Structure 1
Amino acid sequence: LPAATTTLFAMPMPIIVTTCPTLASRPRVNVSRTVKCRAQASRMRIVQINASELSLIAAGSNLPHPDKVAKGGEDAWFVRIEKEGGGDMYLADGVGGFNERGVDPGLYARVLTYEAAKAYAAQTKNPLGNAGPKKAIQVAQEKTRLPGASTMIVVALDGNILKAANLGDSGFRVVRHGKVVLASPAQEHYFNCPFQLGYAPLSEDIDSASEAQEFEFEIQPGDLVIVGSDGLFDNVFDEDIVAVANEAVAKVAGAGAFSAAMAASRALVTVARRNAEDPLCESPYAVELTKQNKSSVEAANAKGPLGLLSALASNAGSVMTGRKLGGKLDDITVIVGAIVATNAAHEDIAATKRLSQEMQKEADVMKKRAAGEEAKTARSVNLRKQMDAALKDKVAQQEAATKAEAARPREFSTAIIETMDAATIRRLLEERGLPTSGKIERLRERLGNVRADR
């Protein structure tokens, strides 16, 4: 949420020495190093535990795309915690393509995040409710009635079980003892086209929250949960995410979990932006793009010499090196959550709660401002429904008229027409206002189609 993220970035940012490797300093990265979902860890036995035993101390940072700074970018995020512990994190990445239609996808992402957090809070307070991150995303999609589209991820701590639901190419990592022990995979229809939520009455091309991937993982004190938009994962490899986060946390050792989460989130967005702007960076995005280009060249080669030349021309930048280089400039949002024992983290819980309350105030203001756009959207949807209904009625009337016309008897039978000479046929057609030119066979057919008056 823009105002809150601006406040966060008013504070000094640490200097991180990690830089993106170039071809000279780093061997070619195996694609297997990119995002992997460890299926064996994504579903684990749920252990019943009091939700107050562990807390998710979270803080986040955001750097909008340089061209979108004025409006705060198109990512939205939110964190929440109760004094009893637990905690949840939300991130939505608005689909930038809607700018070409005069629509701000950032507003859709912000309202989506607002509705998801509101839904999850209501669900957790209802012991008989069907609570869960995926359900929160479903409710949010239903209640976000605006033009636009967005990916979304919700991560929540329930006892010692981390529950998450993700749709699109944002994601999360769980870091334990310096290693990624759980990574969510990107959901894409094809390269660089993620699954995305939207308002169904405005578009048939959106995806449904029911398609979100779900995760459950047994968490431990000391774990870091890193949630990011694709601006992070397109520009920083997992092992570098771990290294940057650990270095940032070490720099504020003893300052508490909230300070550690804040430092790590800032450090990660800083490194991601640096890589995104580095034309020699061998980023995860560049590695994947190289794969895609290689596949397109191989497919073109199968079509013959001309197809191969065309593919090489379109990928000239990678012909000499065999690969694409550079990061992907985008909005970058990172939320870092530190898992701690609740009874030892009262100050950190209070700090996270203050952050949540500040963000909630800004979100409430945003939601009120969005009411006008929601009303406009409702009018557009109603008008579309009326137009669709009118068109349906018109089509039905036309079909009924066609059927009625077809049911009318012919004025002249085929046998009678066959006995007529050409002059008679032309005279009858002329009397009925029909064309009289053409071959006799066509004239007989035309007269045979004349229906008798009822």
Structure 2
Amino acid sequence: MYVPSFFYILAICKFITAASYLGKPCQSEYRLTIFYHYCLHLNDKNQNIKLSSTSALKDELIESDYQGWVRDQKAHWIKAFLKSQASSIPIDFNPDSLKNSGHDWWFTDRFDDDDDDDGINHEVESDLLKKAEGSNEYILRERYRYVGVADGVGGWEDEMIDPAQVSQSLMYHSHQISTSDPELEPSSVISRAYDKMVSDPFVRGGASTALLARLDTFTSTLDWSNLGDSSLWIFKGSDLRQSFQTIPQTHYFNCPYQLTKLPTSRNPNLNQHFQSINLDLPTLADSGSCSLDDGDLILVCTDGLADNLWPEEVTNLIRGISTKNTCRSDLEFVHDLAHRISSYARMASFQTRRVTPFEIEARRNSIDDLGGGKVDDITLIVSLVRKL
């Protein structure tokens, strides 16, 4: 029996989403050296890059699809950050300090070229009821909301490889795949994105964790898939208590499960070393599903947050901000949450006398010289559930 499209317009909730990213300090000279080795890699891939003037190469290189996507996202993000923080940014603040993307990357499914889009706070409201005669494809695209974070493994810098290449490529392909086929489970999206990343000649090599979450506006449910040590937290009830947190997947201390692309080297011994590495596959990802209620908060973050803040601290921050939220919109609320929680985590990461989850985990593994916070990239996506 034929059922018209509007029959499926059953959205019962919406998700209001914001994101915040704070990169760790990075030496520009070191990144230039890594960039030089990347140009060598492109030459090996017959890109014919001239290596006589490394400092000018960035203007000459052909961008891959994922690199162009990252550049556009970064431009939106910087614009939005400067706009949202206009009243508190110091006069001598240098916007160029925001251009270092670090090793983390992320996406939400409402990041486009609309000039009205703030680039960081994506109010994800369903327009289904206004477009009842839309196609099934449109309805499916509007039904699901995808968000994701990835954390490039910094150890690959020792091999002169930029860890951000893998995390950015994974998030780009996850965004493309989930947009074109929104009914795919998060685990399938990760698997397909991994295959795309490995085959991308513009990704020299490296590794990254990956966490994807899919929000369903028809059923008010959350599906997720996580490989590595990024985290998904859910806070529920009028007291916004923490009701769920994913369990990190690690081989040993500070070595998470990771999706890897093995590089090739001009050194045969190094190639042999790379080939001896046991690779984690997307099938190892931990997946799950849960129902959501009005007012629930979903936090998706990289380990830069979870390593520096205890769940109780995050809960207290959320409650404190929520108490003061009586006169603001939901969008302003989630924006404030994302910014203040990530800023607090960044502050904690530089404190040497603070007892952090990272320090306690190090002690559990008989490592006693890692006291205080862990300086790292911090990426956080916050999503608020509202029933229609």
Q: Same fold (TM over 0.5)?
A: yes
Identity %: 27
> What residue in structure 1 maps to residue 103 of structure 2?
74
Q: 2:252 aligns with which of 190, 194, 201?
A: 190
Deviations 1:32-70 (CA, angstroms, capped at 9, x unpaired): xxxxxxxxxxxxxxxxx9662112211110110122665
* Equivalence for 2:196: 143
Query: 1: distance between equivalents of 2:300 and 2:175?
Result: 15
Structure 2 counterpart of 1:133: 186
Gap runs ≥5 in structure 1: 1-48, 126-130, 295-314, 318-323, 344-454
Given candidates 244, 263, 268, the residue that maps to 2:341 is 268
Return the letter of the residue paired with 2:222. Answer: L
- Counterparts of 1:240 and 1:186 in 2: how far apart (Å)? 19
TM (norm. structure 1) is 0.55
Q: Which residue of 1 aligns with 2:127?
A: 83
From the superposition, tell whether residues 258 and 90 of structure 1 become closer, same or farther in structure 2 (CA, over 3 Å): same
Q: Which of 61, 86, 110 is equivalent to 2:20?
A: 61
Question: Which 10-residue stretch deviates more, 175-184 or 196-205?
Answer: 196-205
- Which residue in 2 is equivalent to 1:101? 159
2:242 to 180, 188, 192: 180
Deviation at 1:247, TM superposition (A): 2.0
Aligned to 1:443: none
The one-character-per-residue Cα deviations of 1:59-117 (angstroms, maximum 9, x if unpaired) are 11011012266522111011124534642211011111111222111122111101011
**Matching residue's letter, 2:256:** P
Aligned residue for 2:366, secondary structure, equals: helix
User: For the residues of structure 2 that align with 1:109 and 1:121, how far apart are their CA atoms?
Assistant: 18
Contact 2:206–2:263, Cα closer than 8 Å, also in 1: no
Larger radius of gyration: 1
Could you tell me which residue of structure 2 aligns to residue 210 of structure 1? Answer: 283
1:90 alignment partner AA: G
Residue identity matched to 1:83: D
Alignment of 1:248-327 (within 5 A): 248-293=321-366, 315=368, 325-327=371-373
For the residues of structure 1 that align with 2:279 and 2:322, how far apart are their CA atoms? 39
Superposed CA deviations along residues 220-261 of structure 1, whole A, max 9, x for unmatched, are 110000011000000001111111123233334332222211
Counterpart residue number, 1:114: 172
Distance 2:354 2:215 in 1: 35
What's the secondary structure of 1:52's corresponding residue? Answer: coil
Aligned equivalents of 2:284, 2:315: Cα separation in 1: 29
> TM-score, normalised to structure 2's length?
0.64
Q: SS of the residue aligned with 1:253?
A: coil
1:181: Cα distance to partner? 0.8
Instruction: Give me the whole-angstrom Cα distance separating, in 2, the residues matched to 1:252 and 1:289.
Output: 37
Change beyond 3 A, Cα 1:73–1:253: farther
Q: Which one of the candidate residues 230, 242, 245 is aligned to 2:303?
A: 230
Q: Are 2:381 and 1:335 equivalent residues in the alignment?
A: yes
How far apart, CA to CA, are the structure 1 residues paired with 2:195 and 2:263?
10
Aligned to 2:225: 165
Counterpart residue identity of residue 167, structure 1:
L
Measured in 2, the distance between the counterparts of 1:103 and 1:249 equals 42
CA-atom RMSD in angstroms: 2.1
SS of 1:285's partner is helix
Separation in structure 2 between the aligned mates of residue 193 and residue 328 of structure 1, nearest angstrom:
14
Q: Describe how 1:33-48 pairs up with structure 2 within 5 A.
A: none
Structure 2 segments unaligned to the other structure (5+ residues): 1-7, 28-96, 110-123, 129-142, 265-273
Residues 302-354 of structure 1: CA distance to partner in whole angstroms, max 9, x if unpaired?
xxxxxxxxxxxxx4x5xxxxxx630111001111010112x4xxxxxxxxxxx
What is the CA-CA distance between 1:272 and the residue it aligns to?
0.7
How far the C-alpha of 1:201 sits from its partner, in A, is 7.6
Q: How has the CA–CA distance of structure 1 residues 83 and 199 changed in structure 2, closer, same or farther, with 3 Å as cutoff?
A: farther
The residue matched to 1:71 in structure 2 has which SS? coil
The CA distance in 1 between the partners of 2:174 and 2:148, in whole Å, is 8
Q: For the Cα contact (< 8 Å) 1:236–1:275, is it kept in 2?
A: yes
Query: Residue 146 of structure 2 contacts residue 215 of structure 2 at CA under 8 Å; is this kept in 1?
Result: yes
With over 3 angstroms needed to count, the CA separation of the structure-2 counterparts of 1:51 and 1:333, relative to structure 1, is farther
CA shift for structure 1 position 157: 1.0
Question: SS at 1:119's partner residue?
Answer: helix
For residues 20 and 338 of structure 2, what CA distance do their matches in structure 1 show?
Answer: 6
CA distance in 2, matches of 1:77, 1:59: 12
1:153 equivalent in structure 2: 211
Deviation at residue 200 of structure 1 after TM alignment: 5.8
Check whether the contact 2:248–2:256 (CA below 8 A) recurs between aligned residues: yes
- Aligned in 2, Cα 1:270/1:257: closer, same or farther, shift over 3 Å? same
Partners of 2:359 and 2:373 in 1: how far apart?
6
2: CA distance, partners of 1:281 / 1:201: 38
